[in-house]
Chain A
Amino acid sequence: MNGPLLTVEDLAVGFPAAGGFVRAVNGVSLSLSAGERVGIAGESGAGKSVTALAIMGLLPVPPTVVTGAVRHRGKDLLTMRERDLRLVRGRSIAMIFQDPVTCLNPRLSVGRQVVEAIRAHEPVSRREARGQAIELLGRAGIPAPARRFDDYPHTFSGGMAQRVMIAIALSCGPEIVLADEPTTALDVTIEAQIVDLLVELCDEQQAAVMFITHDLALLARFADRILVMYGGRIMEQAPAPTIFRRTAHPYTRGLLSSVVRPDGAGGARLATIPGAPPSPLALPPGCPFHPRCVHAVERCRTEVPLLLDVSSAEHRCACHLAAELTPFDAAQPDPLGIRP
């Protein structure tokens, strides 16, 4: 049995907000296999986080409207009862959030919070859970975990607090970890440590990880496969090297050339995408990217492009012009011919 652990089929999520109806996710399909590291990249409002929250069943329905299916072990999580869903959460699927400090309860010691997470899913004694918690904290890279066990969250730095969150997420050996911008609030040196830690722990446990970020460069290190989202849709998906070296979608190209490279020559103008990402309250008709796309033709304004194979079934792109545009290579010094 080597099928995917989790399959998302045609997921759509919308909810009412102050200015109208937010169409946050509009038909996303994806799958996660054991031990696989998938990156989801996109700017604000792309629908990345809402996709993860919908998979976890953490969106209040109603008022949120969720359609499609999230299949895990033959069951659709979207139609599951809350009681059964609780068993899936934590035990099979865990989530790590952006801001570790606000995720921890400031009035409970860090160790106790890990123990609670363990005891919520496993029938173990307090003492056993304590031992497991100390071991987990140590594996998550917390120095002297037995000594820090009784410390409160405010004595932990952002990076250390995120390690605690990772320990909690991994406490029940989940098959799937959804990490939503887990390093965005952290400094670069700490970010690198956390990314390497996630890679290590997931390899050890053979867990599938979905890593959500706005930082494509980070995914170059982390991900086997990358999905690029925009306007609640997947615009392009491919193995990581293909995304960077044979980019098909004009949005992915724009995003890659907007990334300032640490090894690039200074002073040159950045090739940017005009305009700003659309508000999910007012998505343009047709391809959501067409108002910012330099290649857009009439068809792009009216007809939503489907996510179709580019060269193989592994590389898919939602662009009417995918076949006509030459692939883009971000590693070339002058990929767009714009830099002097």
Chain B
Amino acid sequence: MTAPLLVVEDLVKVYPVARGLFGRIGSAVRAVDGVSFSIAAGETLGLVGESGCGKSTLARCILRLIEPSGGHVSFAGADVAGHRGEALRRYHQRAGMVFQDPFGSLNPRQMIGDMVGEPLRAHHLVGGRRSERARVGELLDLVGLDPGRARSYPRQLSGGQRQRVAIARAIASEPELLILDEPVASLDVSVGAQILNLLADLQTELGVAYLFISHNLSVVRHVAHRTAVMYLGSFLESGPTPQLFDRPQHPYTQALLSAVSVPDPDRERERPRIRLTGEVSTSLDVPTGCRFHTRCFRAETVCSECEPMLDRVGPNEHRAACLFPGDRVALRQTHAAH
């Protein structure tokens, strides 16, 4: 058993919110509120949650694109909090990120080859122009682009091709961890499927670990070895992907899964849906007790008073933060009894 590649412990990010005329600090947004997990080398952890749950803030804290307010992030055994200058550069060589929008994340005035070559130069991975060009050609080929595309500009490429460029650029420094923030959300279905296949191939070939962030549960089920469900800055459930999807224990995960459409009209019409009531709270006013209790179909009085821990609910480190975890069938029976 080797040590995990990335270990995140009790990570917190708080944004102060200025209120009033003189910008006095009124309250605080707890965007990430005590998150702990780890990712092993070559593994994919899927992170699902609705908009505003803190997924992207968490990703940025891990890479120290923003400074966390508390907790620890360690990568390959070293705490990244102390990294400055050269150490931070070396960290970013080993852990990178791919963003959602391939239209916004590429410099429109830079040629593709130049863009992919940039991390090679920054991390001194190539000797001269010629070896850079050769390596850029290899990288473009690896992500399924014609190496002749090196002289194109982003506007000459389709959305899928741009996302391939962003991936080529991210893998140029041979990272051990890539954070993928909604990498297929803005692509057409048929093109998104190609990118998912490419990411799977790259993982097999390069052994890179992924933190795969998505609001699309079907996609996460497809790509992730383990999955974590995030709600208002904190994990409500985590576990091996098949187990979590087949036997979700947290009412929120169950509601999320029941909302996903299955491409089959016969099954889709008879499938019961859990309707969540109430408005989605914001991280500005996280409810007391269990943060999900205001929308929960299972909530009892105690849920508004006592905050549940992310406890074991099944084998293989299947955990849920719920005072009344359980299968949906069992849940419904208990619910009917009330």
Contact = CB atoms under 8 A, between A and B. Distances in A.
A260 B196 CA distance: 10
Interface stretch (A6-14, A67-75, A272-280, A301-309): A272-280
A255 interface: yes
B261 A157 contact: no
A33 interface: no
B188 interface: yes
A313 interface: no
A192 B193 contact: no
A258 B196 CA distance: 10
Given A160-B279, A269-B197, A272-B197, A189 B50 contact: yes
A119 B265 CA distance: 40
B85 interface: no
Interface residues of B, number: 48
A141 to B, nearest CB: 10
Interface string B244-258: 010000000001111
Nearest to A158: B51
B288 to A, nearest CB: 21
Q: Which of A157, A188, A216, A269 counts the most B-chain CB atoms under 10 A from its CB?
A: A188
A276 B215 contact: no
B145 to A, nearest CB: 12
Nearest to B184: A260
Interface stretch (A131-139, A172-180, A217-225): A217-225
A96 to B, nearest CB: 19
A255 B241 CA distance: 25
B192 interface: yes
B217 A188 contact: yes
A217 B193 contact: no
A92 interface: no
A192 B259 CA distance: 5
Contacts of B242: 266
A260 B200 contact: no
B221 interface: yes
A221 B190 contact: no
Main SS of chain B's interface residues? helix
B189 A258 contact: yes
Contacts of A260: 193, 196, 216, 218-219, 221-222
A128 interface: no
- A-side interface size class: 35 or more
Given A191-B259, A276-B159, A255 B266 contact: no
Contacts of A297: none
Given A43-B190, A188-B256, A189-B276, A266 B217 contact: no
A29 interface: no
B264 A331 contact: yes
A277 to B, nearest CB: 6
A261 B263 contact: yes
Q: Which of B158, B223, B260, B276 counts the most A-chain CB atoms under 10 A from its CB?
A: B260
Nearest to B158: A276
B263 A270 contact: no
A188 B193 contact: no
A261 B190 contact: no
Interface string B180-191: 000000001111
24 contacts: A44-B188, A187-B51, A188-B215, A189-B276, A196-B273, A196-B275, A217-B263, A220-B265, A221-B268, A221-B269, A240-B265, A244-B265, A259-B263, A260-B193, A261-B262, A262-B221, A264-B222, A266-B221, A266-B223, A266-B241, A269-B197, A269-B200, A270-B193, A277-B191
